[in-house]
Structure 1
Amino acid sequence: MLKVLGQEIWMADGSDVLAMMGFRYPTRMAVIKLTSKRLLVWSPIALTTEIRSKVDALGEVRYLIAPNSLHHLFIADWKRAYPDARIYAAPGLREKRKDIDFDSELDGTPLPEWSNEIEYVVVQGNSITSEVVFFHHKSATVIFTDLIQQFPEGWFSGWRAVVAKLDLMIGREPSVPRKFRMAFTNRHTARESIERILAWPAEKILMAHGTPVMENGQAFLRREFGWLVA
């Protein structure tokens, strides 16, 4: 079900739970309506009849975003359903998904299709993935994928629960997992990317895994990235 997150932006949690190294991850996507009435779909979830009906009621799907090299599993299904939509890939994803004909790579170059309404920064210098972070001006929402996470108590069990807690995946508020902090092998490059994100007048923060931050987003980001940016 689509839920209103802010002005002209919605989110939907998928019914699928994906497994990676035994850890279970829920799915989530965001839909943004541009002034052209066209829709941008970030990190598409499984395309069910219900989801398609709700999305179609908002407008025409024209842009599909794979925001990092880990969030791409359903994007080909969406392309088949919306053949006129353009697909944008995070850096490195083209090599991983040679079966998908991506229209463009998100390499930091502003895109005229939506650059006046949505900015983005490629967070580089991380050995796990190069994540593309977006800022939707109208709703003052920053959209992360995996660089910020939060899972509820009890989501993981056994030794995985212990690992998740040590990794900062479980806590009172969303946080940057330790594995991602350690994977920033080029901190200078990463710092430059995060500083650009911190300059956005953020109010809300959405992430693929975790409770959205609905107010004081900029202060939240400065707190969560204080270990990287003084």
Structure 2
Amino acid sequence: MSRFDLSYSLSAHRLMRGAAGLLLGLALLVLQGCATVASPDPRDPLESFNRGVFSFNDGLDRVVLKPTARAYQATLPSWARKGVGNFFNNLEDVWSALNNGLQLRGQEMGDSIGRVMVNSTIGLGGLIDVASDLGIDRHPANFGLTLGRWGVRPGPYLVLPLLGPATLREVAALPVDQQGSLVTHMPDEATRTGLTVLNVVDTRATYLRAGDVVDGAALDRYSFTRDAYLQRQRNDDYDGDPPPEEGTEP
């Protein structure tokens, strides 16, 4: 056996051990989640684990993200922050156009393409949302939503470190959505990192007031966030007209 073959075999062995360890870890988390919650929500079988991740994300938000977003909001005038949001919306509209096409939603795909063409030119690279002023609506769509409209069920609720609420379907769609992001394909690493951080901070700043409302209104912020996320996802899956859920009156 050559040194290359030996090195390849060792690498493959390490990879298999790592994958086995990951699967074992996930299995233990599943068992832990099922064992430590007295009356688990059927949509959230990993509630114990999810609450731990939620607490971690919440602590990171309070220490890092929220203060950064407040400083960003205090430093940049509203018109500048609006331009930043418009810029990222324009990038997202490219991926939305493709996903609306995959869902066979011709009007929504046409609107998304039209928005990109108008805002990328007249709107100075997306900084100005001229398309909305012309009455061309946004129709955000990602691959997770595409799977939902193809009939793929959401699966169990999950809370991801740093990324927050999701379902198993959205987790499966993440690699595809990542490849669909134009920021991911920018050749300069510093530019990719800078735009990613700016997008996170700008998004967090947009929801500062909503977060304060949740803090003041919800007795259990975890349950409130979970229920709101799943309700919105269900609404999106059925294009705003979901059927009655099982066990509820029509």
TM-score band by shorter chain is: under 0.3
Tell me which structure has the larger Cα radius of gyration. Answer: 2
Q: TM-score, normalised by structure 2?
A: 0.23
Which has the larger helix fraction?
Answer: 2
Q: TM-score, normalised by structure 1?
A: 0.24
Which has the larger strand fraction?
Answer: 1
